[in-house]
Structure 1
Amino acid sequence: MRASPWLMSLAIATGLGACQPAQPDATVAAPAAQQTPPAPVAADADERRYHFQCGDLAVQATYHGQDAATVVVGERTLAMVPAEAASGAKYADAQGNTFWTKGTTDGTLALKGEPERRCTGTGEAGPTPMPAADAAVTDVGFRATGNEPGWLAEVAAGATPQLRVETDYGQRTFAIDNPTQGKDGWSGKAADGTEVKLSFQRTVCQDDMSGKAFGTTAMLTVGARQYHGCGDFAGAPALAARP
């Protein structure tokens, strides 16, 4: 039986079609273009830091935009929020402390229980916060601090020695002129009659918060209450922090 020429042509066409290379599926999506990684978030450019001299106190104020301010007064760090003021920028905290400035050259510091101090701006600070030691009184012969609650005691060296004390995070302050000096410390009576004594032992002491090591162990007695901490004499070599 002879094959139909039409059938033979169809068979050849079919075979040739089967030998053609496969065409890409038009429905397959092309590879996605490489995405550019997001730019890093910039640091807060609206944070400004200034130094002030408020009476006998060196103060550093860091303004976080217009929403908050951190005011460092000696060993105290006060977190403040904006307060109503007729002019200038005024900040306050829940303890009743306020810091009010007009520009960067003039201001007022009011610490609870203390007279207001007039402030003079001494310049814009750099990016690194001012160490607390830089804010301390420079004529200190001995200095001791402690935590929970925070306290500070300084013995001023000079023609008229003075024992200065702050307790309970600065809520109470005492000043004793010409304190009695013994072999292990100083003692005296504050203006309100409170007995105050600062004593020390020459043993290495480690601050329980910062880990910093000091050359003496200190104890402060105010009335019937005792506070424990660490201290050093002015000019004493720094000790390495212990793990």
Structure 2
Amino acid sequence: MRASPLISSLAIAAALAACQPAQQAGGTPPGASPAGNEVAPPAAAPTSDERVYAFQCGDLAVQATYRGQDAATLVAGNRTFAMANEVAASGARYGDGQGNTFWTKGTTEGTLSLKGEPERACTGSGKEGEVVAAAAPVAATAFRATGNEPGWLAQVSAGDAPRLHVETGYGEQTFEVASPTQGKDGWSGKAADGTDIKLSFQRTVCQDTMSGQGFGATVMLTVGARQYHGCGDFAGAPSLAERP
């Protein structure tokens, strides 16, 4: 008995369908877009752990770019220093292993030490990305002293009208003494709020308890009834390593 043409056609169509590759729902082969074009994966949002702060360090405008907690790039004037985080009992300290260091306590105070140059005190705006105006004149420093735990700073400006600037508590408290009285072993006077301030020194070798750096004077700072101890030196004085 002969098969009808209709039945033969249906059998052939079924056999051909069985040989075709499987398709996704909707007729789209695996791995292809519905239109047959490749679809790019969504772009990841850019992430960055860089933070940029500006400081004025003496006569140098400084830009510090921090990358996380481990590295920083310092642009000081027309020089660039790649630095790594160093151990510090307080604040953040970075160095390049070549005698150049940048030590900050917060984002408004710091110390820049460049090999072969006098140490520079730094001030910052405290705001990320904000530039510190470098046009403002920077008063020359006649004497500078620092101490640790808690961190403090004292500076006596040079010139005909010296001023005594004092910061305690890592810069949280600030005192200004206009025209302090100068004696043979230091300076004294009253701050604007009436606090008695006295900065006295002895010309003896003093070693910083945190950095190990040597200074030519042992210093005691008295603020009201509280005393602070540290090291200091006069402007232009050579480091102990440079002294004969």
Closer, same or farther: CA 79–159 of 1 in aligned 2, 3 Å:
closer
Mapped contact 2:107–2:127 kept (Cα < 8 A)? no
C-alpha distance in structure 2 between counterparts of 1:157 and 1:79, whole Å: 26
The Cα shift of 1:194 comes to: 0.2
Which residue, out of 52, 56, 76, partners 2:104? 76
Q: Map 1:42-191 to 2 at 5 A.
A: 51-53=54-56, 60-64=63-67, 76-78=104-106, 98-101=126-129, 107=130, 119-120=132-133, 139-191=140-192
Aligned-residue offset at 1:138: 5.7
| Partner Cα distance (1:208, 1:71) in 2 | 16
- Equivalents in 2 of 1:193, 1:217: separation in Å? 26
Root mean square deviation, CA, Å: 3.8
TM value normalised by structure 1: 0.51
Measured against aligned partners, the alpha-carbon deviations of 1:174-204 in whole angstroms (never above 9, x if no partner) come to 1111000001000000000000000000100
- Could you tell me whether the CA contact under 8 Å between 1:61 and 1:71 is conserved in 2? no
TM-score normalised per structure 2: 0.51
Contact 2:143–2:235 under 8 Å retained in 1: yes
CA distance in 1, matches of 2:60, 2:226: 27
- The corresponding residue for 2:238 is 237
1:159 is displaced (CA, Å) by: 1.7
The structure whose Rg is larger is 1
Q: Secondary structure at the match of 1:159?
A: coil
Distance 1:120 1:139 in 2: 17
Q: Could you tell me how far 1:64 is from its partner in structure 2?
A: 2.2
- Residue-by-residue CA offset, 1:66-98 (whole Å, 9 max, x unaligned): xx99999x9633279xxxxxxxxxxxxxxxx94
Alpha-carbon contact 1:163-1:176 (below 8 Å) kept: yes
Instruction: Quote the Cα distance in structure 2 between the aligned partners of 1:171 and 1:59.
Output: 22
Q: Which runs of 5+ in 2 are unaligned?
A: 1-47, 73-90, 94-101, 109-124
In structure 1, distance between residues paired with 2:210 and 2:186: 24
| Local SS of the residue matching 1:240 | helix
Runs of at least 5 residues in structure 1 that lack an aligned partner in the other structure: 1-44, 81-96, 102-106, 109-118, 123-136
Q: 1:51 deviation in Å? A: 4.3
Aligned sequence identity (%)? 66
Specify whether residues 59 and 220 from structure 1 end up closer, same or farther in structure 2 by C-alpha distance, changes over 3 A only: farther
Aligned length: 148
Change (3 A) 1:169 1:57: farther
Match of 1:219 in 2: 220
**1:140 alignment partner AA:** T
Query: In 2, Cα distance between the equivalents of 1:171 and 1:209?
Result: 20
In 1: Cα distance, 2:62 partner to 2:151 partner: 18
Residue aligning to 2:203 = 202
Task: Give distance in 1, aligned partners of 2:92 and 2:55.
Answer: 10
Q: How many angstroms does 1:57 deviate by?
A: 9.9
